[in-house]
Structure 1
Amino acid sequence: MNATTMTRTATPRRATFSEAAPAVTFARLARAEWIGLWSLRGTSVALAIGALLTIASAVGFAAMWGFASTRPDSPLPAEAAPPLVAMALNGIVIVQVVGVLLGVSAFAKEHSTGSLRSQLAAAPRRRGLLGAKALVVGAVSLVWSIVVLAVGLAGVALVYAAFDLPPRTGDVFTGLLLPLAGGAVLVGLSAVLGVAVGALLRSETWGMTLVLLFLLLLPGVLLTLPFDWANRIGETLMGHTGAALYTPHESVDPAVLGDIALTLAWPAVALAAALVVVARRDA
């Protein structure tokens, strides 16, 4: 064996193109986020509890109206019962809170536990990672909420039928299907807002507090103040404009379209800000 042979033998074999690591695409990031979301026991627990409370509140309030309309002393008129879809959407706040919880936890909790650093080491594209989190959490919240609201609607319909309460649904598409779909869209948008705020604050506690105050408390406070400027601000907040998505409308006027546009704009602006901040900030 000569020196040339020894040199060739010692030379390491170069890796071919087929042996290279697979590219980190957005689809792979989304799939990883999907697996990570369902690997957490808290996800299933939150969704199960949220579904139970939402359905129970809708069916429970419907049953109260039913018993009140059949009591022997001073029964309430059956026509006074809320429309079927309004009663079914009675627990929209509950599913919205669950969506926010999933959204904030998707980023802030991983940052607090340190698992976010491992994700960034495997997928250094921070904007893609945050976008995948927003997509997966928003989609899961939307699909889950529409199933929960549909089950609640079925339960309320059974109660209304048992007590002969008028459903007053009107047109099935505009008075029933669109409000259900709109409520689910609102939950998905709230989850995306939670992801964005969680990425901005990197704190699960502060993120949840800020988003819930923004969605559930601040609009009501501003709208009750005796100032025109406060009312105008309150009417532009997502907690107020979001009702346009699940409220039945006989006709779509510019005011309704404006509320829907504002509802879409709030999570979009928050997510855009989070994408900029996450790309520039250390993990």
Structure 2
Amino acid sequence: MASFPAVLRSEWTKIRTVASTSWTLATTLLVTVGIGAGLCAVVNATFDNMPKPEQASFDATQMSFSGMILGQLAMLVFGAMVVGSEYGTGMIRTSLAAVPRRGGLLLGKVLVATALALVVGLATGFLSFFLGQALLGGHSTGLGGENVLRAVIGVGLYMALLAAFAIGASMMLRNSAASIALLIGFFLILPIVLSLVEATRKVAAYLPGQAGSAIMQTVPAAAGSDVPYGPWGGLGIMALWTLAAVIGGYLVLGKRDA
């Protein structure tokens, strides 16, 4: 039976040597930074044309992270591929033969993938911030501004939770395509649909993507006056969703054959 450090080394080797997981991490960084920079340049050029209320509540820090709209999808794909690639190739049988304790196998995957997502997320956060603020010109803020460092680090925390959530969901579905479709619908489409109806708008605020993204806001008005939680409270809600997904993945992994 493999020791837990050996499990961690094995999971690191799997992620490092599978091209799809490496490319999705690189895509996460490039898409988030690139889109954020482009939108910051546009806002800087059109800032004076914005309505006065929008100018007053403008969140320069969050503007740098506007590329997260698509960047987070790449991170969800990464998390789904960490599990889905093994089921797709049948390597999961070999993994379970080497690590019979399925909880240890899942924990190893979550720890390694989440650590990588955190590193990529932090790099994405700092690069997006500095490049975006440079392009915002006179409308920019500094890293020493109120709540700014928390928001930048929050990008890394948000990315790490996204990866862990995707791993749990993918472990339940055991199929990359199905997992990615579900995750895109849950994080991108469902919040928009729920937000269109007054009766379900408050429900949308408690979905993991909506709640977790509050950690990247520095201007209270930007979060909406009717949101009943702050940045850390929102991230806590997302963490609970993530824990539920991982527990679900563990239960399914323990009951089903490979």
With structure 2 as the length reference, what TM-score do the two structures score?
0.87
Alpha-carbon shift at residue 173 of structure 1 (Å): 5.9
Equivalent in the alignment of 1:106: 82
Matched, 1:216 2:188: yes
Correspondence 1:109-124 to 2 at 5 A: 109-124=85-100
Q: In the aligned structure 1, how far is the partner of 2:213 from the partner of 2:248?
A: 25
Provide the aligned C-alpha RMSD in A.
Answer: 2.4
Contact kept? 1:215, 1:238, Cα under 8 Å:
yes
Equivalent in the alignment of 1:13: none
Contact kept? 2:44, 2:139, Cα under 8 Å:
no
Check 1:108–1:87 CA distance in 2 against 1; reply closer, same or farther (3 A cut): same
Contact kept? 1:95, 1:187, Cα under 8 Å:
no
Check 1:173–1:263 CA distance in 2 against 1; reply closer, same or farther (3 A cut): farther
Equivalent in 91, 102, 107 of residue 126 of structure 1: 102
Q: In the aligned structure 2, how far is the partner of 1:146 from the partner of 1:223?
A: 29
Equivalent in the alignment of 1:49: 27
Correspondence 1:1-283 to 2 at 5 A: 24-68=2-46, 76=49, 80=55, 82-161=58-137, 165-168=138-141, 172=144, 174-227=146-199, 230-248=200-218, 255-256=229-230, 258-283=233-258
Contact kept? 1:197, 1:270, Cα under 8 Å:
yes
Q: In the aligned structure 1, how far is the partner of 2:39 from the partner of 2:198?
A: 33
Q: In the aligned structure 2, how far is the partner of 1:129 from the partner of 1:249?
A: 41
Alpha-carbon shift at residue 84 of structure 1 (Å): 2.7
Check 1:160–1:103 CA distance in 2 against 1; reply closer, same or farther (3 A cut): same
CA distances 1:92-134 after superposition (whole Å, capped 9, x unpaired): 2333112211111111221121011111111111111111111
Q: Secondary structure of 1:265's match? A: helix
Contact kept? 2:158, 2:235, Cα under 8 Å:
no
Q: In the aligned structure 2, how far is the partner of 1:282 from the partner of 1:190?
A: 26
5+ residue gaps, structure 1, are 1-22, 70-74
Equivalent in the alignment of 2:224: none
Equivalent in the alignment of 1:14: none
With structure 1 as the length reference, what TM-score do the two structures score?
0.79
Identity %: 25
Q: In the aligned structure 2, how far is the partner of 1:128 from the partner of 1:157?
A: 43
Counterpart residue identity of residue 212, structure 2: G
- Detail structure 1 runs of 4+ shifted over 4 Å in the superposition: none
CA distances 1:57-78 after superposition (whole Å, capped 9, x unpaired): 1111122233346xxxxx647x
Alpha-carbon shift at residue 249 of structure 1 (Å): 5.8
5+ residue gaps, structure 2, are 221-226
Quick check: 184-193 or 39-48, which moved more? 39-48
Alpha-carbon shift at residue 258 of structure 1 (Å): 4.2
How many residues are paired up?
248
Contact kept? 1:55, 1:148, Cα under 8 Å:
yes
Equivalent in the alignment of 1:8: none
Q: Secondary structure of 2:147's match? A: helix
CA distances 1:30-72 after superposition (whole Å, capped 9, x unpaired): 1111111010122222222332222211111122233346xxx
Counterpart residue identity of residue 128, structure 1: G
Contact kept? 1:30, 1:132, Cα under 8 Å:
yes
